[in-house]
Amino acid sequence: MGSRALDDRPDGFSGLPGNLMMWILILGELAVFGAAFVGFAVARALDPVPFAAGQAHLDGTLGAVNTMVLVTSGFIAARGVAAGRRGRPALARRRMLAAAAVGSVFLAVKAVEYAATLGAGLSIDSDTFFALYFLLTGFHALHVVMGIAVLAIVARWPSVENLETGAAFWHMVDLIWVILYPLVYLVR
């Protein structure tokens, strides 16, 4: 499916890059995160005081830095797919590994953020805000870990379809973060 020239893509599921099963997973993930984000917004509207207090403890600058990290990693992964399509699997492999390395910076920044939060005595059972904060950001961070593993796997077997499929999962993780970040860190 992935080796076909891009301009020949028809409509329907086959018009999407990568494996169909990955797109079914992506649509499911977007539905789950979407429902969780609306739930977070409703919980804040119903009980705004702990949310305002909790958000004041978070470092929005670190979140913005992490956005830049993820979009840069996504760009490198997309470049890796392009290299694979041009018949340069070794270059594609290097780019996917570079994307995974940059992606791991996200986890390092997240670890700094969690250390500061937990160090201030704020944990998942502190209040509603921190329960939802740790659940949403933790669930997303778990997807980052899985995404890094997927990038490493497709770097090992860099067929065009594998590259497209791994990159699609990685871009979905990116997409979720660009909504999660303002919702949890900035809107108050």
Task: Provide the binding-site residues for other proteins, judged by CB under 8 A.
Answer: 6-7, 9-12, 15-17, 30, 34, 37-38, 41-42, 44-49, 52, 59-61, 63-65, 67-68, 71-72, 74-75, 78-79, 82, 167-168, 171-172, 174-175, 178-179, 181-183, 185-188
* Residue 75 or 114 having the CB closest to other proteins: 75
Burial of 115 (0-12, 13-18, 19+ CB in 10 A): exposed
CB of residue 154 to other proteins, shortest distance in Å: 15
Grouping H, G, I as helix, E, B as strand and the rest as coil, residue 19 is: coil
Measured CA to CA in angstroms, residue 126 lies from 43, 54, 61, 145, 188 at distances of: 15, 10, 23, 26, 19
Q: What's CA 43's distance to the chain center, in Å?
A: 23
CB of residue 112 to other proteins, shortest distance in Å: 16
* Residue 47 or 111 having the CB closest to other proteins: 47
CB of residue 7 to other proteins, shortest distance in Å: 7
Residue type, 141: A
DSSP strands (E only) in the chain: none
* Residue 161 or 174 having the CB closest to other proteins: 174
